[in-house]
Amino acid sequence: MRSIISSPSGPLLGAVRLPGDKSISHRAVILGAIAEGGSRITGLLEAEDVLATVAAFRAMGVTIDRPATGQLLIQGMGLRGLHAPPKPLDLGNSGTAMRLLTGVLAGQDFCVELTGDVSLSRRPMERVITPLVQMGANVTSCDGCPPLQITPARELTGINYRMPVASAQVKSAVLLAGLYASGVTEVLEDAPSRDHTERMLAGFSKSTWAPGDRARVTGGGHLTGCNLIVPGDISSAAFFLVAAAILPGSEVSLPEVGVNPTRTGILSILAMMGADLNTANAGKAAGEPKGDLHIRGSDLRGIDIPERLVPLAIDEFPVLAIAAACADGVTTIRGAGELRVKESDRIAVMVEGLVRLGIKARALPDGMDIVGGRINGGAVDSFGDHRVAMAFAVAGARARGPVTIHNCEPILTSFPQFADQAVSLGLRLSERP
C-alpha cells in the first residue's frame, strides 16, 4: 500500500468493531511473558508493532501460541526466566516496544541489543535511559537514539522519579525495571499520562489499583498469569469519529471501545468543538473502562484546546488537526511539543500537508494554529507516519477533489484494517502502488 487516494465522500453510516488497543496489547504480551504460568489474551491487535513485541519474547524463549485470530496463549517464564536472544531484537517501528522492553531487559542477566527501522532509529531514547541509569541499569545508545545496548547491572535500586514530561512509555519502563529492583520504585507525574501499565500490573500481581499522580511497585515480587480481553483502540476510533463529525448526515457506531480516562481527550475535545457524540453501555475489559461510541455529523467550531487535555489525546492530534481544518474559526494547540518526537515531527508534517491542501495553518514550537476552511484536492506526504497517513485519508472525504497520500505502508503498524473498515462505512479510498 504505497499511496492512498481519498476522494470526496457522502455521509458515513454503519458500525464497525475496531481492532484491539495497541497500548494495551503491547503490555498484555510483556506482562504475560514475565508472569508465572499461562495467560490468554483475547482481542489482541495483530499489527506489525505488537507482532514485533511477540517476536521479541519468542526470541527470548517464551512460548506464545495463536489458537485463533486476535488470541494468544502465553506460557510465562517469570521475571527471571527469559533467555538471551540469538541476535539483536528488531522492534520495527515500535517506540512502545523499544521503551518498555528496555525497562524489562535492564533487570536481566544477559546482554541484548534493541534495534528498529530507520524511523525508530531517529527517535529519542534519552528520556527512558536517564531514569534507568539512575536505578543502576547499563544502557547505552547511539547519540541518544537506537540501537540500544543493554548489559547486566550489578543491582537495580528503586528510585523516586518525577517525570519532567508526561510520557506513559517512560513511566512504564521505570515501573517495569522496578520489578527487578530492590526496594520501592515510585513515579510522580505533574500531568496525567496513560495508566494502562499500572492497571495491568495490579491484575497480574493480584493487587488493587487506585488512580493518582504517583505509581509505585515493590521489587522482589512475582506476577501470575491471567486472562485478558483487550478493548477496541480509541486511537483507531478517532479517525472514524472525526470523519463522521465532519461529514453531514453521518451516523456511526463503534462498539466496545476502551474509554480509559487517560485516553479520552479526543472525546472531550470533539465535544468542545460541537460534535454530536455520546457513550453508552459502560463496562470493563482487562481492568479498563469500555463503552459504545456513537457520533453523528455536525457543525464543528474552532476552539483553544486546553493544555490539560493534550496528554490525554497526544496520539490523536493528527486527525484532530483535520477536524480543526473543517471547523468554523481558529483552533489553537499549545503544550504539545511531544508531537515533534513521534514517528514524524507531527507538528511540521501536519501543517505542511494542510497548507498544501489550501488550509491556513501555522506551526509553533509546541503546537499549531489552524484556520478552518475549504480543503482542496492535492497530494501530501505522510513521511512514513501511520497516523498522519490516516488523518489525511479522512481529510479527503471533505475535500473539493481527491487527496493522494504518499508513503502509507506504516498504517500496517497500528491499524491494518483501516482501509477496509473505512470503505465499509462509506469513505472512498483506493490504493495505488
Kindly tell me the burial class for residue 346, based on how many C-beta atoms sit within 10 Å of its own C-beta (0-12, 13-18, 19 or more). Answer: buried
Are the CB atoms for 53 and 26 separated by under 8 Å?
A: yes
**The pLDDT value given to residue 209:** 75
Please state, in angstroms and rounded to a whole number, the distance separating the CA atoms of residues 348 and 346: 6
Domain residue ranges in the chain: 3-20+232-432, 22-229
> H or E element: which one contains 98?
helix 95-105
CA 395 from chain center: how many Å?
21
Q: What is the pLDDT of residues 210-247, one digit of tens each?
A: 777 889 999 989 999 999 999 999 999 999 999 999 99
Q: Encode pLDDT of 252-311 as tens digits.
A: 999 999 999 999 999 999 999 999 999 999 998 878 999 999 999 999 999 999 999 999
Using DSSP's 3-state secondary structure scheme, residue 126 falls into: helix
Residue 93 has pLDDT above 60, yes or no: yes
Judge whether 3-20+232-432 and 22-229 match in fold.
yes
Higher-confidence residue of 210 and 70: namely 70
Say which CATH topology domain 22-229 has.
UDP-n-acetylglucosamine1-carboxyvinyl-transferase; Chain (3.65.10)
Among residues 250, 79, 70, which one has the least CA distance to residue 180? Answer: 79
pTM of the prediction?
A: 0.92
Amino acid at 109: D
Residue 315 appears among annotated catalytic residues: yes
What residues have CB less than 8 Å from 197, skipping those under 6 apart?
27, 100, 168, 171, 172, 175, 176, 215
Q: In DSSP terms, which residues pair with 330 in a beta bridge?
A: 371
CA separation, residue 353 to residues 6, 36, 326, 405 (Å): 14, 48, 14, 10
Q: What is the DSSP letter of 287?
A: T
For residue 193, is pLDDT > 70? Answer: yes
Let me know: does 410 contact 422? Beta carbons within 8 Å. no
Which pLDDT does position 144 carry in this prediction? 94
Please report the pLDDT score of residue 208 as a whole number. Answer: 73
Q: Are 168 and 123 in contact (CB under 8 A)?
A: no
Measure the N-to-C terminal CA separation of the chain; round to a whole number of Å. 6
**pLDDT tens sequence across 196-211:** 999 999 999 988 777 7
Share of the chain above pLDDT 90, in %: 94
Q: What is the pLDDT of residue 301?
A: 98
User: Stretch 147-169: mean pLDDT, rounded?
Assistant: 95
What's residue 195's pLDDT? Answer: 95
CATH number for region 3-20+232-432: 3.65.10.10
pLDDT(192) > 90: no
Q: Is residue 49 within 8 Å of 97, Cβ to Cβ?
A: yes
Residue 166, pLDDT score: 85
| pLDDT for position 326 | 98
Tell whether the model's pLDDT for residue 80 goes beyond 90: yes
**What's the pLDDT score for residue 168?**
93
Radius of gyration of the chain (CA): 21
- Written as one letter, the residue type at 232 is G
Sequential DSSP letters for 312-361: GGGGGHHHHHHHHHTSBSEEEE-S-GGGGGSSS-HHHHHHHHHHHTT-EE
Phi and psi at residue 426, in whole multiples of 5°?
125, -5
* Bridge partners (DSSP) listed for residue 150: 112, 139
Residue 1 in this model has a pLDDT that exceeds 80: no
Q: Kindly report, residue by residue over 377-404, the tens digit of the pLDDT.
A: 999 999 999 999 999 999 999 999 999 9
H-run or E-run covering 428: strand 428-432
User: Which residue among 49, 90, 315, 381 is the active-site one?
Assistant: 315
Burial label, 162 (beta-carbon count in 10 A; 0-12, 13-18, 19+): exposed
